[in-house]
Structures are given as C-alpha cells and as structure tokens.
C-alpha cells in the first residue's frame, strides 16, 4: 500500500517559507496560493502544507521537531551537500547519541523556527543521550533539538525528544 505522510504547519511569511522549503527539499511547491502552499514529494514520501498566518509568532510553538530518516551515509551526505549549496544554514552532528541511538545528522531551521532533522542511525545506544542533562536543550547539545524559547507546562518528566524539562 502506497502512503505519504501529511504535515501542515503555520508560517508567518509564506514567501520566506516557500523559499526555505524549496531549498531544503530541492523542489518547487506543487500548489501555491496567496495564503497556502504545499509540496507533494516522492522523496521523502511527504505532503507538506504551509498555511499562512500573519499573526503567528516566529518562535516554535507546539511541535518539537520533524525528521527525515535516511538509511545510507551517501544519501545523508548528498542531501547535506545539496542543501548547503542551496544556501541553507545547517547544524551538523556526527556520531551523536540521542534517543537510544548513535547517528550522524544535520538540522535545518525554517524562518518560523520549525526544526528539521535528517539522520542515519548507525547503532543502538544504552543511554538516551551522551551529554550531561544540564546541556540538554542548548545549541551545543546533541540532544535531539534545542528547547523552544517558550514555557512548556511541567506536568511530567519528558524525554529528550519531547517538549519540557530534560
């Protein structure tokens, strides 16, 4: 059965978002309107919708991050090279431990603060992360993604890949 994941995100500036995602995914939008754009892609199997909301804050709100898992180093390196040549700023992590796995990865942040992780898992790990808990959620961290700059409710202890306290 063929499937395609659908993700819909709000963006404060549709033109900036379309430019970013065109460079990140190396394709043009499938549909483009004054207040909406979408990318229906085969690689990855993704239907990404961008919904313009001019009142949206540029800070991350409810999502932690989105990810694309690749299964070969040459695919990750090729994608990283293409995205870098398209002028997208990346954060690169190599042999990092996160979410009980060791992986090479890179991160890109869209103009509204949505984080995208691209990675290849190389091994399982016995720990959630290899860094001290105090470093989790910082730009220097290899702990899944920087913590959003908004206050999240502290109902229960969260994992590295979920909003909240590390």
**pLDDT tens profile 52-67:** 998 886 555 566 799 9
Residues of the chain under the 70 pLDDT cut: 57-63, 131-166
Report pTM.
Answer: 0.78
User: Given this chain, do its domains 5-52 and 66-135 carry the same CATH topology?
Assistant: yes
**pLDDT tens profile 71-102:** 999 999 999 999 999 999 999 999 999 999 99
- Residue 37 is predicted with a pLDDT of 98
d(CA 100, CA 135): 17
Do the Cβ atoms of 57 and 49 come closer than 8 Å? no
d(CA 91, CA 105): 8
Do the Cβ atoms of 90 and 81 come closer than 8 Å? no
Beta strands in the chain (DSSP E): 5-11, 31-33, 36-41, 46-52, 66-70, 91-98, 101-109, 115-124
Domain 66-135: CATH class, spelled out: alpha beta
Q: Where are the domains of the chain?
A: 5-52, 66-135
CATH of domain 5-52: 3.10.180.10
């Amino acid at each position: 059965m063929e499937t395609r994941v659908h993700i819909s995100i709000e963006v404060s500036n549709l033109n900036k978002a379309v430019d970013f995602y065109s460079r990140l995914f190396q394709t043009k939008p499938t549909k483009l309107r004054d207040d909406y754009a979408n990318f229906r892609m085969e690689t990855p199997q993704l239907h990404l919708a961008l919904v313009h909301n001019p009142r949206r804050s540029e800070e991350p709100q409810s999502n932690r991050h989105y990810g694309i898992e690749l299964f070969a180093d040459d695919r990750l390196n090729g994608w990283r090279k293409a995205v870098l040549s398209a002028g997208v700023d990346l954060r690169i992590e190599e042999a990092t431990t996160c979410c009980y796995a060791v992986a090479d990865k890179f991160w890109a942040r869209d103009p509204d603060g949505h984080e995208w992780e691209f990675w290849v898992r190389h091994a399982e790990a016995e720990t959630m992360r290899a860094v001290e808990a105090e470093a989790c959620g910082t730009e220097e961290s290899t702990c899944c993604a920087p913590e959003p700059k908004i206050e999240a409710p502290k109902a229960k202890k969260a994992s590295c890949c979920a909003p909240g306290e590390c």
